[in-house]
Structure formats: structure tokens, C-alpha cells
Amino acid sequence: MAVAAAANADTTAKEDRAVAWANSKVGSNDYVFACGRFVANAYGEPGLGYPSALAFHDYLATTRQIHMDANFPRGALVFSESPWDMENGAHQGHVVIARGDGTFVSGGVDQRSQRGAPGLGGGSTVQILKSWNPAPGSEYLGWASPPADWPGV
């Protein structure tokens, strides 16, 4: 029983560290069209390991790690796609980090979609959003816990 409690404590600490790191980047423009790298960096990884947030989501979906409810735990990776995430005619998807209070830290959001948006960091590529929805017309794709082998910063 003590081992399970320690594992849960480690997981919570990992997510807390990732959210704290992500919060520290709010207002910066360090992640232009790089939401996947932002999320991975928050967890101590150089990148998602997939060419796009949508490709990462699709992998997680095939391995049954995607949840479709809206009960986002702190540190959850929340996926969407919208007209704003197109590159070379294909959706790239978007991923944000749930802060555990109903808000989300987002990196890589197109500045045009958030200009003048209420909340912290509006107009920058790293910002706090009041919804998982980074732009008009977004479609919710679900959430997943971060991969177990991502250490957190």
C-alpha cells in the first residue's frame, strides 16, 4: 500500500512541476506554432516524439489513453483541432496543459486568434486560457495524462 501512495505522490509532483514551469512562461513568445514542444518541455522532454499534436493524440487514442469527459486533472494534456492549426493543408492539432482550476496553459497559439482576449498573456504565444478552446471553431478531441516516462521539470 505504501508503494502505491508514493507513486501517486510522484505523479502529482510531476504534474505540479510541469504546471509551474508552464505558468512561468506565460506572456512569452518562445513557442510560435509550437504547442507540442511547449507541452513536452513542461514535462522535461525536448518534443512530443510525433510530428504534430494531432499525431500524438492519435497515438494516444489508439492505445486507449484518451478520455472524452471534461474532468481535466491538473497537468492533463488536452487536445483540440481548429481552422487555426492548418499547415500545408492538413490539421496539426493543438494541445494545452490543464492547470487543475478550470483554466489551461497554452503555448503556440496563433496570436491573431487571441489578440485582446481576456486573461493572462493574451496576444503572446504562451497564455492562460479560460477554456481548452484556443480559437473559434475548435473541436474537442479529449485529454490524456502525460506519458509515464516524462519526468517533469
pLDDT tens-digit map of 53-96: 999 999 999 999 999 999 999 999 999 998 878 888 888 999 99
In this predicted model, what pLDDT tens digit does every residue of 9-56 receive, in sequence order?
Answer: 445 899 999 999 999 999 999 998 899 999 999 999 999 999 999 999
Instruction: Retrieve residue 6's grid coordinates.
Output: 508514493
| Closest residue by Cα to residue 82 from 108, 43, 46, 44 | 108
pTM value is 0.86
Residue with C-alpha cell 475548435? Answer: 138
φ, ψ dihedrals at 63, nearest 5°: -100, 15
**CATH code at position 121:** 3.90.1720
Task: Establish how many alpha carbons lie within 13 A of residue 29's alpha carbon, considering only the half-sphere containing its beta carbon.
Answer: 5
pLDDT of the residue at 31: 93
Q: Regarding beta strands 126-129 and 104-107, do their DSSP bridges make them parallel or antiparallel, or are they unpaired?
A: antiparallel
- Whether 152 is in a domain gets the answer no
- Whether 151 is in a domain gets the answer no
pLDDT of the residue at 146: 97
Question: Cα–Cα distance between 24 and 114 in angstroms, integer?
Answer: 19
Q: How confident is the model at residue 121 (pLDDT cuts 50, 70, 90)?
A: low
CA 111 to chain centroid: 17
- Whether 153 is in a domain gets the answer no
Helix intervals (H) in 25-135: 35-42, 53-62, 111-114
The parent domain of residue 54 ranges over 2-144
Domain count, the chain: 1
Q: Which residue has the higher pLDDT, 99 or 4?
A: 99
| Closest residue by Cα to residue 107 from 93, 125, 121 | 125
Q: Regarding beta strands 126-129 and 90-91, do their DSSP bridges make them parallel or antiparallel, or are they unpaired?
A: unpaired
